[in-house]
Structure 1
Amino acid sequence: MDISGGFMSSQSTHPQTMDGRDPSHLRGDAITGDRYYSKEFAEKEWEHLWTRIWHIAGRLADIPEPGDYVVHNFLKESVIAVRQDDGSVRAFYNSCRHRGMRLVHDDSSTEEFVCPYHGWRYAKDGLLVHAQDSDVDFPQGDPCGKLRLNELRCDTWGGFVWYTMDDNAPTLADYLDPMPEVAKNYPMDTAVRVAWYRVKINANWKFVTDNFSESYHTRTAHPQVPPWIDQDVDSARHEMWPKGHGRTVQPMHPSISDRPADGRNVMFEAVLRQWDIDPDSYDSYEEFAFQGWKDLKAAKQKLWREKGYVHYEHMNDEEITDSPHTVIFPNVTISFLPDNLVFFRSEPCPDDPEKCYFDLWCMAFPVEGQTEVESIMAGPKPLEEVAVCEHRDFDGGQGIPELAGQIVYQDMSLAEAMQAGMHSKGYTDAVLSGQETRVRFFHEVLNDYLEGRR
């Protein structure tokens, strides 16, 4: 039996992939503290980044029928994405063409958008269909049937609705490249959102992307992870791509460096038993971890249909047993797990660059016979779509006590002190390990946007 350590994978990498641990791919741009608190820097981000990229408005699952819409508020802008009669989705600025009034505030469904100020009405396709006194009191002519809500480019991928404020931005497929190809085996649009949080934290939005661009912090901040995901220095594969996206592919087997003191690993034992593998059949902890992982791959490939894991149909050996933790530039992270998708997003607060909103969407792939799932980041949840977003203020953890002890709670607990450290004269630039190469790469791609190179 081969029970050697390290990351063992037969999966080939995408041809655009760069080694995410190789600093030769970097220019060496400094990551200075002012990036995290300067209002002038935040204004440059608005002008040169946020108005140029593709944003996620919401999920296609939230707007299944014609007239269903989601509202995405970003800084001081607001966008409506609405399902059309032909099944397509269109996006409009949430601003009445009359005098700028916001038309709607919350996700809902409608046949017409009605301005609450003067009663102007717009069809789902953005066309103005009614305005008070339109035929007698507009010197420039009746605007009805001619005027439209200002529209944004809109597209879909991964079960998400995307839009961009930039008429000249690349297509969504080009912007995301190569993510659609890399993640093509996951049936993302079938995932059920079982937990939905939007948490205000006292840190710049970039803290979140920094944090998810490395796993070097895991053994310190997340001691519960090594028993089921091996994040040792030589175990994970670090990848990054020219558009700024990147991922860390981590084998979901126990770490040898952080083995339990009693030599037992109840969590991984349970996983093996679930797939009809006897965890007591291995002669050593190393064999239990590495050969057990290989046996798990074989068992899942053999038994997925019988056990109701239909989402495995097109997934390969790596995808059914490992964790490609993926950052989509600049502010979206998706943890692709065999049975879950965890969506994270950070967005700046409108008036303070030292605060941001942190979105957590825990999604699970339906499995025949399951009524409850382990959401990974938010604990056990019923396997059903959650209807309402939980808006919370982190408040030192007091705002989300039900998430205490979860990985994402531990990350948020670090944010405020990290933000404070950016003001210190003792900090001038990051001193990074090879595992953190993607952190500087993210900032260099951000610099490219801000300086007009992208």
Structure 2
Amino acid sequence: MNNKADFNPDNLIQVEDLSEPLTYSAEAFTSREYAREEGDKIWAKVWQHAGRVEEIPEVGNFITYDVLDDSIIIVRDTPDTLKAFYNVCSHRGRQLVDKPEGGHSACGKKQNFVCGYHGWTYNLEGKCTRILDKDDWKGALNDARTHLNEIKVDTWGGWVWINMDPDCVPLREYLEPAAGLLDQFEFEEMRYHWRQWIVFDCNWKTALEAFMEPYHVEGTHPQLCVYGDFYAWSKAQGLHGHDGFDSKDPNDTSAATTTVTRAGKGPDARKTIAQMQQDFWETIRGSTTPTLVNAAQRLVDELPEDTPPEEVHEHWYESAKRDDAARGVIWPTIDPEKLAKAGLAWHIFPNMSFIPGLTFALGYRARPYGDDPNKCIFEAYALERYPKGEEPKTEWVYAEPTEEKWRKVLAQDFSNMAAVQKGMRSRGFRGALPNPHQEQKITNFHRNLARFMSRGSPQLLDK
């Protein structure tokens, strides 16, 4: 492929082998027409996580979730069940819940939703319970016409998921095989540590892809390379994908059995792990916890200098596990082989990316900003296990994309996102060239986008 004119999405074959060198065009990132079509072809058809169960713990608690022109109310209608409705009064279409000016989403607690226009009232089950002068309709207003329009809602991993397609597959089926590999982490036992958002100058896919592979670490986060090699494998998992540490040496099997908190390189693994954990905490505020950081700082005192890295790592984890148990945080029991299969980081189609840990998770979500292909709503959050009753109270905080607000690592990622978006609009950009080994998550993402959009599938790169 020599220039943009060579790319004809109508003539693409469906590429099955993602290990081959592939390419795809910038249309999905830069076309306003494509962005408009996403509403009907993607967002109205997929399961998407809309919040956390912890945000709506009691009957009457609700949150809203907006994507493009649709606003969804998710409410706890009984102690054990949730309901989700379009945020639209059945009378004249006014939204029942207003988003705060300049805010992220609405939340609160109600026993009824009252339309601010004419006072029509709905209970937590979506039934319209009060219509002013109802007799004026001469009996034409039955429950079916006035009931709030309900959509699918379910939970997994402590996240609340919604789907606007009445004929969608069940959430669990949609999430497999990811859910089966990730259940062991018990994300439902975690709670928000922090959560921030911003309207960013790039497409939602550009933002999401900045966190979908560790191939960028050397170029974007060079300071992290002192702790280990970030060479990775990347695999498709149906709609979804994940990656994990790999080795260029075919005889090296250690990378396949370690995680993001693996022992790093260097002559003294005790010091490397301690430095890495401190750095993660100071520059990310995620991918670790204070317990893991503190246990890492003791390694120099608790182990001899020549302790093999694998033994250092095991001692560190067992020490942190005991520390957490003493404060009422019990780690999940995970088989090392299953942990290796889970890998380092996941992408859940279409717009969820996260790094799982035994007691933490660092997650990202991106959504379109209207039909402007050059803007998105970007969100990041950290989850952590806490002793019962000691969970922090958090809310979504709007934060400008500075190192002061987001810490060093995320600010480094931000430095790429708008620049990539600008570059893809250039006449000089001939199409993406994803790494066939380390970025299969991304080519699988575009393969699945093409299936929903009926165009733009990755194609083989001419050799």
Normalised-by-shorter TM-score class: 0.7 to 0.9
1:408 is matched with which residue? Answer: 410
1:201 is matched with which residue? Answer: 200
Q: Which amino acid aligns with 2:392?
A: E
2:95 is matched with which residue? Answer: 102
Distance 1:138 1:43, change over 3 A: same
Greater displacement, 92-101 / 271-280: 271-280
Alignment map for 1:14-163 (pairs within 5 Å): 24-25=17-18, 30-105=23-98, 106-135=106-135, 137-143=136-142, 147-163=146-162
2:375 corresponds to 1:355: yes
Contact 1:245 1:326 in 2 (8 A): yes
Deviation at 1:203, TM superposition (A): 0.5
Distance 2:142 2:125 in 1: 16
2:241 is matched with which residue? Answer: 245
2:377 corresponds to 1:342: no
Contact 2:332 2:358 in 1 (8 A): no
1:380 is matched with which residue? Answer: none
SS of the aligned residue for 1:196 comes to: strand
Alignment map for 1:53-452 (pairs within 5 Å): 53-105=46-98, 106-135=106-135, 137-143=136-142, 147-228=146-227, 230-233=228-231, 236-248=232-244, 250-256=259-265, 266-267=274-275, 274=295, 277-278=299-300, 281-282=303-304, 289-297=309-317, 299=319, 303=322, 306-308=325-327, 310-317=329-336, 324-366=344-386, 384-386=392-394, 388-394=395-401, 397=402, 401-405=404-408, 407-433=409-435, 434-451=437-454
Contact 2:215 2:439 in 1 (8 A): yes
Deviation at 1:320, TM superposition (A): 8.3
Deviation at 1:432, TM superposition (A): 2.8
Gaps of 5+ in 2: 1-14, 99-105, 246-258, 279-291, 458-463
Deviation at 1:337, TM superposition (A): 2.1
Distance 2:339 2:327 in 1: 14
Task: Give a deviation string over 1:78-126, Cα, whole Å, max 9, x none.
Answer: 0001101252001000000001100002211111100000100001000
Deviation at 1:401, TM superposition (A): 2.9
Distance 1:413 1:358 in 2: 14
SS of the aligned residue for 1:216 comes to: helix
Deviation at 1:355, TM superposition (A): 0.4
Q: Which amino acid aligns with 1:417?
A: A
Contact 1:130 1:144 in 2 (8 A): no
Distance 1:264 1:393, change over 3 A: closer
Gaps of 5+ in 1: 1-21, 372-382
Deviation at 1:26, TM superposition (A): 5.8
Deviation at 1:352, TM superposition (A): 1.0
Distance 1:442 1:279, change over 3 A: farther
Distance 2:139 2:20 in 1: 56
Greater displacement, 237-246 / 109-118: 237-246
Length, aligned pairs only? 405
SS of the aligned residue for 1:25 comes to: coil
2:284 is matched with which residue? Answer: none
Distance 1:212 1:168 in 2: 31
Distance 1:274 1:255, change over 3 A: closer
Task: Give a deviation string over 1:301-355, Cα, whole Å, max 9, x none.
Answer: 7x36754473413233478899721111111012112331122100010141100
Distance 2:85 2:323 in 1: 42
SS of the aligned residue for 1:435 comes to: coil
Distance 1:340 1:231, change over 3 A: farther
SS of the aligned residue for 2:452 comes to: helix
Deviation at 1:297, TM superposition (A): 4.7
Deviation at 1:441, TM superposition (A): 1.6
Q: Which amino acid aligns with 1:256?
A: K
SS of the aligned residue for 1:185 comes to: helix
Deviation at 1:452, TM superposition (A): 8.6
Deviation at 1:48, TM superposition (A): 1.1
Distance 2:313 2:16 in 1: 31
Q: Which amino acid aligns with 2:265?
A: I
TM superposition score normalised by structure 2: 0.78
Distance 2:143 2:132 in 1: 10
Contact 2:217 2:230 in 1 (8 A): no
Distance 1:293 1:90, change over 3 A: same
2:250 is matched with which residue? Answer: none
Contact 1:198 1:389 in 2 (8 A): yes
Q: Which amino acid aligns with 1:239?
A: K
Distance 1:203 1:437 in 2: 22
Distance 1:165 1:447, change over 3 A: same
Distance 1:223 1:338 in 2: 26
Greater displacement, 307-316 / 41-50: 307-316
Root-mean-square deviation (Å): 3.2
Q: Which amino acid aligns with 2:357?
A: L
